[in-house]
Amino acid sequence: MSSKITIQHFWDEEERTGFHLFSDCLDKLNMNSNQPVYLELEGIDFTVASSGNVKVCIPHDWAIKLGLMPAESKVGEASSSVTVGSINDIAAKHAKFDISLEQYEARLKSKEEQIHAELEHKRATNKDQLLHLDIELTDIQANLKMPAVALEAYKNILADADRALDDVTPELPPNLLFHAKKALTKGLTGDAEKFFEMVYLQSKEKTAAAAYQLAQLSLVNIDYGSAYMYFKEAADMQSNTLNYLNHAGDMAYKLGLFDEAEHLYQRSLLNVEKELGLDHVETANSLNQLAELYNAQGRYPLAAPLYERSLAIREKTLGPDHPDMASNLTNLAAVYYAQGYFDQAKPLFQRSLRIVEKVLGSNHPDVANSLNNLAVLYVAQGQHDQAAPLYQQSLAIMEKALGPNHPDVATSLNNLALLYVTQGRYDAADPLYQRSMEIMEKAFGLNHSNVAICLNNLALLYVAQGQHNQAIPLYKRSLAIVEKALGPDHPDVATSLNNLATLYINQGQFNQATPLLQCGLIIVEKVLDEDHPTTKAIKSNLQQLKAHIHH
């Protein structure tokens, strides 16, 4: 907000044009110090006295540039009253985040080295910390693959912190505030963190807001344990603030703390239903969050009704052809597909495709994703001739829109290769699988669940070709990644166990197959229906084993 500021001009012995400023906006600074406060912004020195007067000492040419003095003025001439922004407004105008791409990449690499060292130290002593460090390392490596995009996100959080420094300012020395703001412009968060920590400890009214900002800065510095702790504290202190609950839930989800994430998402859903109503679009968003968590855990019967309710709300409030409807339709269809309900999934996938084509045009990557989803369904139904052109169209769109090395291109390659395998076209499938895995490893690191999918599919190809010895190490590596990334009770773990067990059965290694199938059966009985294809496959293999053992 602009304020009327009276400027009294003077001249000093260093030939610097000086001004005394008087304005009601200065009470924002909460000045309580007997010492002047010195601030430097873009070469301008501000001296804030405890009396509430502010002296701005700047070179004469700067005064002219800022419009505080007429261009024809000379040193020593008095100025008239002018209207300018408040001190905080002036600071915001001059706040530029001066961190280069090279500097950002160097910081990421330094953090990467730090985590590697910590992994070596923690590997035998702290399993949970090891998992958190692995997640942080994966994200750092992903950021290094696309540093320009990551840097923009980094600057956005710095900008939020810069604004929040003004919002949460308690009765603390104002020089600390401006030192923190100045450091943020260089991409350095340490002073801002110290400032927020002081607010966190000294101002009860601002504690939750300070905790939230500390969480954001921890997040941008890829310190996920601290980020979760502060997000959780902010949510606990102000449980009616949806933003705090949702961020805490998202962080718990990211760290694999699924019980905590579920609790936080449920609290968020109850709050939004109470505050905004059962049919509000924000209620649909909260339902979607909780459903996504259940979906990731393979708890499909819990996810489906939440997705269904979210879809009904969005259709009512946004209309049947709104872009957000497409993602909701896809989510629900994917849950139906995962449970083997192909007939229920098909019209939802088709409807989603029609919406994205209408809204985004036929060559958008989201159209490619929709084509891919529908093709996957056709393959599951054995309709290979209908799936092939959809996969090929999807791959062409992805490569043109995103480039040849994008992870979505890898997914399209993987799916087309899988179709070729089912058609017996093994020589066509092999190079597609190899290229898909190379892209995924470069994009996400060696231990990501997407890499596990590529390993599993390449192993299936080798099995189909009778190359069992080449398939076994791929299956084992895939299983280890999935257990670590998704948890020991995820349906994908059961699928990996079954795949490896099937190979052992075909080789006559029944003793090695039995414990794998027994573990798989425990998982599917916990999270899948009896009619699910994976449940049926595991039970079928166990019966086959019993028959072999009795013979």
pLDDT of amino acid 531: 80
- Residue 52: pLDDT over 60: no
Mean pLDDT calculated for residue range 448-459: 89
Residue 81 gets which letter from DSSP? P
Residue 36: pLDDT over 80: no
**pLDDT (average), residues 507-531:** 87
Q: What share of the chain is helix, strand, coil (3-state, %, to 5)?
A: 70, 5, 20
Q: Contact at 8 Å (CB) between 208 and 199?
A: no
**What pLDDT sits at residue 547?**
78
| Residue of 464, 352, 462, 132 whose CA lies nearest to 478 | 462
The pLDDT confidence band at residue 438, using thresholds 50, 70 and 90, is very high
Can you tell me the mean pLDDT for 271-288?
A: 93
- For residue range 462-487, what is the model confidence (pLDDT) as tens digits? 998 989 999 999 999 999 998 887 77
Mean pLDDT is lowest, of 84-98, 170-184, 322-336, 366-380, for 84-98
C-alpha span between 545 and 52 (Å, rounded)? 86
d(CA 542, CA 525): 14
pLDDT in tens, 396-425: 999 998 899 988 899 889 889 989 988 899
- Which of these, 462, 472, 460, 540, lies nearest to 509 by C-alpha position? 472
As a whole number of angstroms, the distance between CA 420 and CA 333 comes to 24
The stretch 350-370 carries a mean pLDDT of 92
Tell me what the mean pLDDT of segment 390-399 comes to. Answer: 93
The stretch 305-318 carries a mean pLDDT of: 95
Residue 436, pLDDT above cutoff 90: yes
Please classify residue 447 by burial: count the beta carbons closer than 10 Å to its beta carbon, then call 0-12 exposed, 13-18 middle and 19+ buried: middle
Q: Is the pLDDT of residue 129 over 60?
A: yes
Q: Provide the mean pLDDT of the chain.
A: 80
Strand order in the sheet with 44-48: 37-41, 44-48, 54-58, 17-22, 2-11, 82-85
CA distance 527 to 194: 46
Confidence of residue 159 (pLDDT cuts 50, 70, 90): confident
Q: How far apart are the first and last CA of the chain?
A: 87
pLDDT at 329 over 90: yes
Segment 288-307 shows an average pLDDT of: 94
pLDDT at position 173 is 65
Residue 248 has a CB neighbour count (10 Å cut-off) of: 29
pTM: 0.65
**Angstrom distances, CA of residue 345 to CA of 43, 174, 243, 355, 495:** 62, 59, 32, 16, 21
Residue 54 has pLDDT above 60, yes or no: no
Are 267 and 239 in contact by the 8 Å Cβ rule? The answer is: yes
Query: What's the rounded mean pLDDT across residues 510-519?
Result: 91
